[in-house]
Structure 1
């Protein structure tokens, strides 16, 4: 998987995840209240579905559908002509690209998804909120890796009345930003377990070794 493609995938996944941190050095009481409110809201999203629109640093746009089932499970399905599918089954994040005939796996704990998909969201483990900004209809929380093992930052945007996550922006070490807009994020019920299972179906010999 190319570095660019992987960064876009993790940027997409991050929004559903990287949320606000409880390491809130320098935040006002009002800012901390917004962080606590956002955390409680995210923990309440046990099952949800939305459309997403992703725009990368070059201005290229792609769309798809995201399904979430906490703890541990998520599915990001890109619309054609993209062949990309990203699935977390609770322990592993699998990334399949039917056009490039690639299939990659990452431990869930090594991706931003682990923060959001945990049974109990704990943003005090190495993640630091660096700012809270307000708009007429909501607010944005910006966070970074407090351990400084990962450069860059993520900004999550929430709309008020009712409180809803509407998108996020991931900025990497080179200040390249990937924007993800969520459309119609809403609780869901009875999501099919098969949504969160992804098998490498490539034939042996197509980038896949015989076991």
Structure 2
């Protein structure tokens, strides 16, 4: 199965969990109508908040539509570096080194790589992906929540990614990234939720390396 499909769609009951698949919580349900009056300000604030993150580590939870849930740790370092490390029940890593997004599946000893600009996470990882150009503000149920939907018209095969921020004065730029929601061409929605954020921590280059699954069935400890 193509890794870009697995990244948002693979059921958790299979051999491993598809990255980024989570049921959308009711509190984060996103109406489709843009909020025109606040678009420019909120887009700029969200873009500034993402750029202001130097390093971040957070817990994430991901569930499929049937309610099965897995969790793990997300580590991020700008520009363009991210690592999803799952619990022991998911023998897979997703790592970006700033240039390439790599999906290492240790159960089937398979490795797939994509330029970060050619991945569904481009809105988060690609420094060239300006969300003030590709994004639109969507209405939320709370004045303390800012949601930005990002879609690349040149890559219609990728799901629309909606970044969900919560007002928090101690977070970079005053906004904390708390979730993102992927909506595919069949209007199926999946989400990732973040918690326990830590900023400005030491994140060495080794964080964004991994053992090649083609030579090992075990991921790094």
TM-score over 0.5 for the pair: yes
The unaligned stretches of length 5 or more in structure 1 are 13-25, 207-211
Which structure 2 residues correspond to residues 34-183 of structure 1 after superposition, within 5 A? 34-119=42-127, 122-124=130-132, 127-129=134-136, 131-147=138-154, 149-150=156-157, 152-162=159-169, 163-183=175-195
SS at match of 1:146: coil
In the superposition, the TM-score normalised over structure 1's length comes to 0.77
Instruction: Give, in whole Å, the separation in 1 of the partners of 2:143 and 2:132.
Output: 28
Instruction: Give, in whole Å, the separation in 2 of the partners of 1:200 and 1:61.
Output: 26
Provide closer, same or farther for how the CA distance between residues 136 and 28 of structure 1 changes in structure 2, counting only shifts above 3 A. Answer: closer
1:47-91 residue CA offsets vs partner (Å, 9 max, x unmatched): 111000112334332211011111121111111201110011122
1:77-117 residue CA offsets vs partner (Å, 9 max, x unmatched): 11120111001112211111222322211122211434333
1:34-57 residue CA offsets vs partner (Å, 9 max, x unmatched): 121111111001111100011233
Instruction: Give, in whole Å, the separation in 2 of the partners of 1:37 and 1:68.
Output: 19
2:206 alignment counterpart: 194
Aligned CA-pair RMSD: 2.7
Instruction: Give, in whole Å, the separation in 1 of the partners of 2:7 and 2:38.
Output: 36
Provide closer, same or farther for how the CA distance between residues 128 and 35 of structure 1 changes in structure 2, counting only shifts above 3 A. Answer: closer
SS at match of 2:151: strand
Normalized per residue, the structure richer in strand is 1
SS at match of 1:94: strand
